[in-house]
Amino acid sequence: KAGVTQTPRYLIKTRGQQVTLSCSPISGHRSVSWYQQTPGQGLQFLFEYFSETQRNKGNFPGRFSGRQFSNSRSEMNVSTLELGDSALYLCASSPTDRVYGYTFGSGTRLTVV
């Protein structure tokens, strides 16, 4: 059974650009959540989607957005990149609308230069 797949694994962008990250959940999982991980702030919740609806959003600026498609795949977008956006972005999926059975992907390492 394939796990949570995140693409790309590594990304280098220039300040001011925008970026789109992709997450394919485990087959049959309907909930996808995104987290940002940095050495200084640790793991912080970005947003959660269930059945194409954003159910919960963390305390991040509006430059961070996301969406979920009908096949449960999810994308997150960061516009007008800042140096501080450099981080590991992790996606997790769950079979239901609850965190039980949460499985993380390996993440996308974003570097903003």
Partner 1 sequence: GESVGLHLPTLSVQEGDNSIINCAYSNSASDYFIWYKQESGKGPQFIIDIRSNMDKRQGQRVTVLLNKTVKHLSLQIAATQPGDSAVYFCAENPLGGSQGNLIFGKGTKLSVKP
Which residues here bind partner 1, judged by CB under 8 A? 4, 31-33, 35, 42-45, 48, 50, 55-56, 58, 90, 92, 94, 97-100, 102-107
Instruction: Rank residues 85 and 93 by Cβ distance to partner 1 and give the closer one.
Output: 93
CB of 6 to partner 1, least distance (A): 8
Decide whether 62 or 100 has the Cβ nearer to partner 1: 100
Nearer to partner 1 among residue 18 and residue 53 (C-beta): 53
Q: Are 94 and 26 in contact (CB under 8 A)?
A: no
Angstrom CA distances, 112 to 14, 58, 86, stand at 5, 21, 5
Query: Smallest distance from the beta carbon of 104 to partner 1, in angstroms?
Result: 4
Three-state DSSP at 84 gives helix
Other beta carbons less than 10 A from residue 5's beta carbon: 16
β-bridge pairing 64-68 and 53-57: unpaired
Closest distance of CB 25 from partner 1, Å: 11
